[in-house]
Amino acid sequence: MLNIVIFGAPGSGKGTQSERIVTKYGINHISTGDVLRAEIKNGTELGKTAKGYIDQGQLIPDSLMIDILASVLDSFEDSKGVIFDGFPRTIAQAEALKKMLAERNQEVSVMLDLEVPKDELMTRLIKRGQESGRADDNEETIKKRLNVYHSQTAPLIDWYKQEGKYSHINGLGELERITEDICQAIDKVR
Ligand code: AMP
């Protein structure tokens, strides 16, 4: 089983690279952001709760997010593995993921940290907002999301280093080169 955590600030390219990895390795993809946006689109209770946080650039509470992740994970059958995109975002979520996988006799294979300079993240997210109309890709909310990333999510870098799972990826440059670096890191742990 290949369990990959793709990690990085908003705009670092997690979604784009995840799609490529899914195609190459035939594993399942969980994007917690996509799951929440689908709930919002469908007008569910969960979607209404999530929207309040997302529009403010804040994280959805851990307990809710962990329950959502567990139910998506349980929906996969005959899975060869999973790429976790946008989860975990806090230490509590990382600990919950470790426990969830251990209960299934599995573990995280590698954590890929896509590093991109802050100025470039701003540029990419503003552009994405103009093209896709994603409500949280406006300058004010982007700034909040980047602050949340630095205060609540970036500490996971040291957490995964201690777990011996950390792999740094230079997320700036040609898409193809970044994909190659990612595949090399994955092939080392397969
Ligand atoms: P993303 O598409 O991954 O950038 O996520 C968009 C928004 O969804 C985030 O800014 C959070 O409000 C929320 N979200 C996504 N994943 C998580 C998570 N693992 N924990 C808490 N909130 C999340």
Q: Please state, for a pLDDT cut of 90, what percent of the chain lies above it.
A: 97
Whole-number Å distance, alpha carbon 88 to ligand 1 midpoint, is 9
Compute the mean pLDDT over every residue in the chain, rounded to the nearest whole number: 97
* Ligand 1 proximity of 8 Cβ (cutoff 6 Å): no
What would the pLDDT profile of 81-106 be if each residue is shown by its tens digit?
999 999 999 999 999 999 999 999 99
**Quick check: is 14 catalytic?**
yes
**Residue 115 pLDDT grade (very low, low, confident, very high; cuts 50, 70, 90):** very high
Residues facing residue 115 across a β-bridge: 170
At residue 133, what is the residue type? G
**Quick check: is 89 catalytic?**
yes
Fold (topology level) of 2-25+80-189: Rossmann fold (3.40.50)
**Quick check: is 98 catalytic?**
no
Average pLDDT of span 28-41? 97
Average pLDDT of span 109-122? 97
* CA pair distance 30, 33, nearest whole angstrom: 9
Q: What is the pLDDT of residue 133?
A: 87
* Ligand 1 proximity of 81 Cβ (cutoff 6 Å): no
* Ligand 1 proximity of 53 Cβ (cutoff 6 Å): yes
Residue 12 CB burial class (10 angstroms; 0-12, 13-18, ≥19) = buried
What would the pLDDT profile of 102-112 be if each residue is shown by its tens digit?
999 999 999 99
Residues 6+ apart with CB under 8 A from 173: none
Would the pLDDT of 136 be above 90?
Answer: yes
* Ligand 1 proximity of 13 Cβ (cutoff 6 Å): no
Break the chain into its structural domains and give their ranges: 2-25+80-189
Closest CA to 32 of 79, 78, 67, 76: 67
